[in-house]
Structure 1
Amino acid sequence: MSPAINLKTVTNNVGWSVLAKTTTFGLKFVTVPLLARILSPEEFGVVAVAHTVVLFLTMVGSAGLAASLVLGRDLESETLHSVFWANLLMACALATGLYVWADILAELLGAADAAFLVRVMAFLIPIQLCGDVAYSLLARNMAFGKDATWSVLSESIGAMTALGLAFLGWGVWALVAQLFVSAVVRLAGLFYASRYRPRLVMSFGKLRGLAKFSLGVMGSEIFNFITFQSPLVIISRHLGLADAGAYSAANRFSSIPNQVVQSALMGVLFPAFSHMNEDRARRSHALMLSTQVSTVFLAPMMFGIWAIAEPGMLLIFGPQWAYAWPILGLLALSKGILTPCSTFIPYLKGAGQSNVLWWVAVIRAILVYGCVTYGVMTGGLVEAMIWLCVANALTLVGYSWAVFRTDGTAFLSGLYVTSRPMVTALIMAIAVRFLLDHIKEDVPSAVLQVIVCGLAGSIIYAILVLLTERELMRKLLQLLRKRQVPEASVGSGS
């Protein structure tokens, strides 16, 4: 039986997820810069390209079936086992195809030298897909504390393995080993935490019952993947592995705030929204509140990275990567533009609107692919990132329209309320950037520049939020007071 969903349940699980992501953030904050100092941009680029293929096929192989397990009201063991074996059979087929056609795929991606890594990393696909059912059971039961524990453990062991091998001179294999070690440890942890044990049971009838929703989710995930990974492929094909490595390193670091906050929220909110399907008003209120809160926390992180990208790149990645600071800044800016969308995917999935999710993902993928390609062909890496910002701005408007229309919320008022914290964060970032330009000569140290600008940005943003988001602050204080009351639920407190 699924647990009751109330404010305490959601905040506890978000807390566990954020703790796990924060720990992962700490590891990446340390390991990515260290690895960047040991390894070359070409080595980062070749692994990034090979991993792109694996991630895409893993997403295809899951076919959205695991998400259906979270949404379903009652699950039978026959359904669980059928999904497990369907995932595993698909994973083995995809891994075999990837191994056989590795040379062709690597050539198509503009990285022929990555073919040998593509073959090796094909074995990641079955390892990753085997844990889908176990994770879905944890998510369905809102047991994110268990998932957080194993996520932290797997990422820690993987990161330490990569650093150890890199210092020993293993080069690109250090990054490959990190992926395999993390995947194996996480798989073992998911089975242990969920207590799920597969049995040799298969029912095509059960799979057909999940098909409609799962295919919509699969389609949206495929096009979301294209959105996230197509810039790397375009850059690799047209600008070379060195630029692909610069993009990959900057993208890894600029993605950390999203991985800490956004992915934690998305994982928890999907099952939470699915439990609210019988109460539309409560679900609508939860959508607006969660979107505002996530934007308040995420937007200043992303725009803040843009503001201090120049000294930040030098400080974190070292002199050999200093030239790529505009890439880091523009990537952070592009992600900051989308912060109001952080809750839209779990909302549409939880509401069972996989068809809307699919169409939005298709349009967004076309926008990103077209804009980045135009930027690469007419300029270079910096121009491509500028056009990525344009694509994301258009995505924000389109995504908001689709979600608010589904929810029955007025588009303009909904967009204004959810985007207001983003605008506030952007004003703060512009002020910090102005400050940085005026203290460069007097404060030549990159460390001091980051510290001074970080403190100034925090103060400016805090003042602006208190001036513009007083109603939200009052609402959050009310929810915090009610959190101790068992009956207090996610949608209350309006």
Structure 2
Amino acid sequence: MAPVHGVKTITTNVGWSVLSKTATFGLKFVTVPILARLLSPDEFGVVAVALTVVQFLAMIGGAGLTAALVMQQDADEETVHSVFWANLAMAVLMSLCLYVWAAPLGSLMGAVESASLLQVMALLIPIQLAGDVAYTLLAKRMNFSKDAMWSTISESAAAIIAVGMAYLGFGVWALVTQLFSSALIRLVGLYSAAGYFPRLVMRPRKLKPLLAFSSGVMGSEIANFATFQSPMIIIARMLGLADAGAYSVANRFASIPNQVVLTAVMGVLFPAFSLMGNDRKRRSDALMLSTQVTTVVLAPAMFGLWAVAEPAMAVIFGPGWAHAWPVLGLLALSKGIITPCSTFIPYLKGTGHGRALFWSAVIRAVVTTAAVALAAHFGNLVDAMIALCIVNATTLLGYSWAVFRVDNIPFGSGLLTSSRSMINAMIMAVCVRVALPPLHARLDSDYLELAAGAAIGALIYGALLLVTERVLLRKLLQLVRTRSTVAV
């Protein structure tokens, strides 16, 4: 019988995952601006384009089999080994294809210079996919503390190596080495933590029950990938590598809060929702609580970054990147708008609603790609980012409707509950944006302006939170007290 995991278990594992991401947050907060000062926009653009191809092929190579393995509660050792070898075989095939066709792919992506990088980075595909089964075993056990530890070690070590190499003048190879270092260290750590060693066992019949679910998951993952990566490809082809580099740097920095919270939450919630089965009340409670908490944390960070984007760009990245502050601000705004949807994908995935997940992802991918392409064609990089904000606002409504319909939650009340903290963050950000121009003339310092904006935003958001989210705060306080009592 599958173990029962409720809100307390989920919050514990989310806590471990968030802790690992937070441990690397400070280091990334420092290393991304350092790398931006040491490398040019073109260098960032070339690596970003090459990485887009690698990640896409790695996703196809995985074929969604490990996600299906999470859903299969009674998977035996033969099934686990078969998934490992199937993943590895596809990874090697994808890697060879990328090596052979690196030049035409680089040209197609609008970055002919990336061909040699693509051939080297093709080796990342088998390294990344080789660790999927070990991670899946940890996820099935809801043992995220060990994954948290190795994620922290791998990301931290890789970031330090990249900064050192960039300082010594290795250019784009500093970023490439960062990717390989992180992947290799985490691979070794996952196998050590999971206690898994693959045996030479391959039973195709064991894979057959997994294929129905995995094909739907793979389709939605491809669509989601297109949503997040198509702007990079469009910008590189239509606006040039310099704009692609500016987008890459701004996106890397604006994505740090998401990497801290969302990757941790999504990684835990998928297996948690899958283990809840048909217990709709527990699922609904976990869905709404996790959505509210992630929105409370992420929305003020993203909208706040939009409000202080101009001084933040000058302070963090230096005068060479100051012109790109509207890109940073609009990217943060687009991510802030979508924060209530952070738990929806793992919910649909974990509860077996593959069709709803697939079509939601496909529609979002098509609309995002078309909107950004049209904006880039008729305008510039800033216009493309504005289009992304509009698409994400529409996506919020669409995903909310799909998820609340699946769980029989009234759309109006569900949307208000999940988005209330986002609305608070929007009000806070507008107030900060209005307050900054008068302060700019008086303070005459980007550092002081940034600090003043952050302080004003924290006070306003804190006050709004106390007024509108008292029920949620009491619930969280009760959870903390309960866990403290149990620990004693």
TM-score range, shorter chain: over 0.9
8 Å contact from structure 1 (residues 269, 347) kept in 2: yes
Deviation at 1:486, TM superposition (A): 6.4
Query: 1:117/1:170 Cα in 2 relative to 1: closer, same or farther (>3 Å)?
Result: same
Residues 15-55 of structure 1 deviation map (CA, whole Å, 9 limit, x = unaligned): 11111111222121111110110110000000000000000
**Partner residue of 1:90?**
90
**Partner residue of 2:395?**
395
8 Å contact from structure 1 (residues 42, 245) kept in 2: yes
Matched to 1:331, the amino acid is: L
Deviation at 1:67, TM superposition (A): 1.0
Residues 359-401 of structure 1 deviation map (CA, whole Å, 9 limit, x = unaligned): 1110110111011011101110000000000010111010111
**Partner residue of 1:113?**
113
TM-score normalised to the size of structure 2? Answer: 0.98
Aligned mates of 1:486, 1:59 — CA distance in 2: 41
**Partner residue of 1:270?**
270
Aligned mates of 2:340, 2:415 — CA distance in 1: 9
**Partner residue of 1:415?**
415
* Secondary structure, aligned partner of 1:441: helix
Aligned mates of 2:390, 2:190 — CA distance in 1: 39
Deviation at 1:278, TM superposition (A): 3.1
- Report the more deviating stretch, 136-145 or 325-334: 136-145
Residues 109-157 of structure 1 deviation map (CA, whole Å, 9 limit, x = unaligned): 0001111101110010000000000000111111111001111111111
Residues 166-217 of structure 1 deviation map (CA, whole Å, 9 limit, x = unaligned): 1111111111111011111110001110011101111111111001111111
Aligned mates of 2:479, 2:181 — CA distance in 1: 41
**Partner residue of 1:470?**
470
* 1:317-328 alignment runs, 5 A limit: 317-328=317-328
Aligned mates of 1:173, 1:276 — CA distance in 2: 45
- Are residue 232 (structure 1) and residue 232 (structure 2) matched? yes
Matched to 1:136, the amino acid is: T
Matched to 2:198, the amino acid is: P
* 1:297-316 alignment runs, 5 A limit: 297-316=297-316
Aligned mates of 1:391, 1:115 — CA distance in 2: 32
**Partner residue of 2:33?**
33
- Are residue 293 (structure 1) and residue 293 (structure 2) matched? yes
Deviation at 1:483, TM superposition (A): 3.0
Deviation at 1:4, TM superposition (A): 4.1
8 Å contact from structure 1 (residues 2, 141) kept in 2: no
Give unmatched runs, 5+ long, in structure 1. Answer: 488-494
**Partner residue of 2:383?**
383
Matched to 1:170, the amino acid is: F
**Partner residue of 1:69?**
69
**Partner residue of 1:221?**
221
Give unmatched runs, 5+ long, in structure 2. Answer: none
Aligned mates of 2:484, 2:2 — CA distance in 1: 21
**Partner residue of 1:490?**
none
Matched to 2:304, the amino acid is: G
Aligned mates of 2:122, 2:477 — CA distance in 1: 49
Residues 275-301 of structure 1 deviation map (CA, whole Å, 9 limit, x = unaligned): 211311111121111111111111000
- Are residue 444 (structure 1) and residue 444 (structure 2) matched? yes
* Secondary structure, aligned partner of 2:444: coil
**Partner residue of 2:424?**
424
Query: 1:2/1:31 Cα in 2 relative to 1: closer, same or farther (>3 Å)?
Result: farther
What number of residue pairs does the alignment pair up? 487
Residues 394-419 of structure 1 deviation map (CA, whole Å, 9 limit, x = unaligned): 11010111111111111122111111
Deviation at 1:460, TM superposition (A): 0.3
**Partner residue of 1:190?**
190
8 Å contact from structure 1 (residues 38, 167) kept in 2: yes
8 Å contact from structure 2 (residues 7, 286) kept in 1: no
* Secondary structure, aligned partner of 2:443: coil
**Partner residue of 2:406?**
406
8 Å contact from structure 2 (residues 138, 144) kept in 1: yes
**Partner residue of 2:158?**
158
8 Å contact from structure 1 (residues 111, 236) kept in 2: yes
